[in-house]
Amino acid sequence: MYHVVIPKIGAATAWRTAARGFLAAQVPPHEICWQEPGAAPELFARTQAPPPTGDIKVSRRFVAMANSVVWHRDRDRFARLYGFLWRLRDAPHLTGDHGDSRLARLRRMEKNVHRCQHKMKAFVRFREIGDPEAPRRSFAAWFEPTHHTVEPTASFFARRFGDMDWRIITPDKTAICVDGVVSFSAGQPRPDLPEDAHEDLWIAYFENIFNPARLKVSAMCSEMPKKYWKNLPEAVAIPNLVKTAPERAEKMARAAPTLPPLRAERMKERLAQGNATDGTLPSQSSALRQRK
Amino acid sequence: MTRMTVKRKLEILSDAAKYDASCASSGSSKRDSRDGNGLGSNEGSGICHAYAPDGRCISLLKILMTNFCVYDCSYCVNRVSSNVPRARFTVDEVVDLTINFYRRNYIEGLFLSSGIIRSPDATMADMVRIARRLRRKESFRGYIHLKTIPDAAPELIAEAGLLADRLSINVELPTDAAVEAYAPEKSPEQIRGAMADVRHRKDAAQDRSHRGRRPPRFAPAGQSTQMIIGADGATDKTILGRSTRLYGDYKLKRVYYSAFSPIPDSSAKLPLISPPLQREHRLYQADWLLRFYGFELDEITSTTRDGNLDLAVDPKLAWALEHRALFPVDVNKAPKELLLRVPGFGVKTVKRIVSTRRHCYLRYDHLLRIGGAMKKAQPFIVAGGWSPGSLTDSACLRARFAPPPEQLTLF
Ligand code: SF4
């Protein structure tokens, strides 16, 4: 029996190296116990995977899938992946088989991770933690992803925020990017980040871009599940927007059409003469006059 | 007069921008800022950073530069004859908001439009100035969508296309007559002329020079437009006919349909109704069928007599119900084109069916795993272990899908 601990940081490479070793040494899945750090090793178990030997060819689709599935929070993810890899030896076509139930499960897990990465790209909210006038500004965010998604998603933030330093702190891992170099360290409890005045502007934007005549709370919740709300500054505005929407919509509908302000007549006249407020309105004005 | 705060301006100018449906940030050129000399990236697919309680995606900072406007479009909250509070952003303020929102990961970029102040050229020039500042001074590599002013000078449009990812011009209403009635200062021909101009510039930017060099890309995410529906009497047939022509003539990326929605200060010319959201939804579905499922316009609109789509069932299902003789289709044998017509099968599902059936005989539970909406597809397919029997022809098939009629109460 083998007992292998896959570390939190660098799990993808660690799993792959171990899996290649086991595969080369023809160790069947039931002889391996894959574990996350912190679990007590079994007595008498060997804790080192055999070193990988020779070339092993696996389909690219599988490698891509494995690179996502290793970040799923399912404790059996490493074993499931190896189990499928083991079957691939005799049946390489399996990676394209949409009818295979174990593959379907891995695919679902892959999808979960992708979705989680996607939501992370969307819902991380930075606060400025350095001097806004500094040549490189710095920002920090606290985020609670559903899966172990920080590591595979960090490169996205590095590509996007090239001219600033940032860190994303999560309960199980912290990603830090300084001068364009990303590194990872242990997770942390929720930090106290300084207030950021732009949050107030962002909330104002969120409130005003909403159209109360089109209230559709379920559509919002399916795309922005409630579990994320606690770390989204704009979410504080949601309850009130939802509550007052019907009344606001009704008020708009009930309000009698208003008379145009006096200014309107003057401007229209000027427009018709080919003269807007303080410039000229070319080309169209003659056509306009004719139509009137 | 005391100066208005940025926050107050933002409130007014985002409120004024919400009637534009588009918030897309996808499909532009790929780029990033790994080199450390700029800010932003674009990786093809857009990101919705938040959802408002109306269920709409918030991807961009969607604002008007100003909501002062000298035009009088009846459907629009910014028309000269409306009494809403007015505001105007400075170039600096828009640039600053965009950059600071972007750095906090609130947005993918900026969608800027404007009421028409002074002259179309002056308005457009200010918008271009904002885009130029973002790109040149701030080295901003995020997404920029500019709503162009129809009769702005060609040089301005040319520069706008080099700075922005997407340009758009709204056709506003489905027919020329409606535009004339409700947007009296606008000319449908001029709007189409502007769209043609953008198309030609975009096409021209694709040709290599004789040295094989590529000119800089023009509006890489293409152009789009928006039509307000439900404000005039146009039928869905008219609307879809118009969009089919728009897609064809100007190679538009998207036509947005925006259900006419009550605005805070209405005009006597256009009484308010509650927005026809279901109709808007059906139009998007039909639009999709036309573009990605091989449907022809008259196939979709012929299923109803009055030229409007069935609100109770989606247009694909409506078509299938009218053409039951073609069903059920055998998922193991049917050609791809026919599979695309099965209600409940999307483009992805069909692709998977075709690839999987090459090496195995498809059974019903395979289809479940592949991801077809099987409840909907059941009556229309045959698969291993499944045959719909008489279900396909049953008279109450429609009732299975249509929502139950509204409950009547004693009067
Ligand atoms: S031109 Fe018409 S649609 Fe555009 S802002 Fe002015 S009134 Fe509104």
What's residue B115's pLDDT?
A: 93
Contact predicate B196/B248, CB 8 Å? no
Checking if the pLDDT of A282 tops 50, the result is no
Looking at per-residue pLDDT, the higher value among B20 and A277 belongs to B20
The answer to the question of residue A88 being in a domain is yes
Checking if the pLDDT of B55 tops 60, the result is yes
Residues A25 and A90 in one domain: yes
Percent of chain B with pLDDT over 90: 59
Residues A81 and A52 in one domain: yes
CA–CA–CA angle B343, B345, B350 (5° rounding): 140
Q: Which of residues 68-87 of A touch B (CB under 8 A)?
A: none
Q: Nearest C-alpha to atom 7 of ligand 1 is from which residue?
A: B79
Q: Is the ipTM value over 0.90, yes or no?
A: no
What's residue B263's pLDDT?
A: 81
Checking if the pLDDT of B95 tops 80, the result is yes
Chain B contact set for A127 (CB, 8 A): 104
Determine which of B60, B369, B370 to mutate to test the interface with A (most A C-beta atoms within 10 Å): B369
Q: Do B39 and A287 touch (CB under 8 A)?
A: no
Ligand 1 pocket, Cβ-based, cut-off 6 angstroms: B 69, 71, 73, 76, 78-79, 115-116, 183
Dihedral sign, Cα of residue B56, residue B61, residue B62, residue B68: positive
What's residue B42's pLDDT?
A: 93
Q: Of the candidates A58, A92, A118, which is a domain's last residue?
A: A118
- Residue with token string 């933030």: A157
Q: Do A125 and B104 touch (CB under 8 A)?
A: yes
CA–CA–CA angle B241, B247, B252 (5° rounding): 145
Residues A106 and A9 in one domain: yes
Percent of chain A with pLDDT over 70: 89
Q: Do A163 and B262 touch (CB under 8 A)?
A: no
pLDDT in tens, B225-252: 999 998 888 999 999 999 999 999 999 9
The answer to the question of residue A72 being in a domain is yes
Q: Cβ atoms within 10 A of the Cβ of A214, count? A: 22
Residues A98 and A16 in one domain: yes
Query: How many structural domains does chain A have?
Result: 4
- The strand pair at B223-229 and B254-259 is best described as parallel
- The answer to whether residue A226 neighbours chain B at the CB level (below 8 Å) is no
Chain A contact set for B117 (CB, 8 A): 276-277
State how far the alpha carbon of B68 is from the alpha carbons of A285, B16, B77, in Å. 19, 10, 10
Checking if the pLDDT of B378 tops 80, the result is yes
Average pLDDT over residues B108-113: 97
Q: For chain B, how big is the Rg over CA atoms in Å? A: 24
Residues A22 and A76 in one domain: yes
Quote the distance between the C-alpha of residue B59 and its chain's center: 13
What's residue B261's pLDDT?
A: 80
What's residue A287's pLDDT?
A: 34
User: Which pTM does this prediction carry?
Assistant: 0.89
Residues A54 and A102 in one domain: yes
Chain B contact set for A271 (CB, 8 A): 70-71, 185
Chain A contact set for B87 (CB, 8 A): none
Query: Quick one: which of A199, A197, A203, A273 has its CA closest to A238?
Result: A203
Q: Do A127 and B104 touch (CB under 8 A)?
A: yes
Q: Nearest C-alpha to atom 1 of ligand 1 is from which residue?
A: B71
Nearest-angstrom CA–CA distance, B288 and B178: 25
User: Which backbone phi and psi does B308 adopt, to 5 degrees?
Assistant: -110, 150
Look up residue B214 and give its DSSP letter: P
Confidence of residue A286 (pLDDT cuts 50, 70, 90): very low
Residues A246 and A140 in one domain: no
What's residue B3's pLDDT?
A: 81
Chain A residue with Cα closest to B138:
A163
Residues A42 and A7 in one domain: yes
The answer to the question of residue A192 being in a domain is no
- Residue with token string 């309960």: A171
Contact predicate B174/B232, CB 8 Å? yes
Average pLDDT over residues A146-175: 97
Residues A46 and A141 in one domain: no
The answer to the question of residue A191 being in a domain is no
What's residue B260's pLDDT?
A: 87
What's residue B339's pLDDT?
A: 95
What's residue A285's pLDDT?
A: 36
Q: Which of residues 173-212 of A touch B (CB under 8 A)?
A: 179-180, 196, 198-202, 204-212
Checking if the pLDDT of B205 tops 90, the result is no
What's residue B407's pLDDT?
A: 54
What's residue A264's pLDDT?
A: 77
CA–CA–CA angle B297, B302, B306 (5° rounding): 115
pLDDT in tens, B307-354: 889 888 899 999 999 898 899 999 999 999 999 999 999 999 999 999
Q: Do B266 and A257 touch (CB under 8 A)?
A: yes
Domain that residue A227 falls in = 197-254
Checking if the pLDDT of B25 tops 90, the result is no
What's residue B209's pLDDT?
A: 67
State how far the alpha carbon of B100 is from the alpha carbons of A156, A199, B105, in Å. 19, 10, 9
Query: To the nearest whole angstrom, how far is the Cα of A215 from the nearest Cα of chain B?
Result: 4
Query: To the nearest whole angstrom, how far is the Cα of A109 from the nearest Cα of chain B?
Result: 14
Residues A108 and A50 in one domain: yes
What's residue B270's pLDDT?
A: 74
Checking if the pLDDT of A9 tops 50, the result is yes
What's residue A256's pLDDT?
A: 63
Residues A28 and A109 in one domain: yes
Contact predicate B266/A252, CB 8 Å? yes
pLDDT in tens, A213-246: 889 999 999 999 999 999 999 999 999 999 999 9
Q: Of the candidates A66, A101, A118, which is a domain's last residue?
A: A118
Residues A106 and A8 in one domain: yes
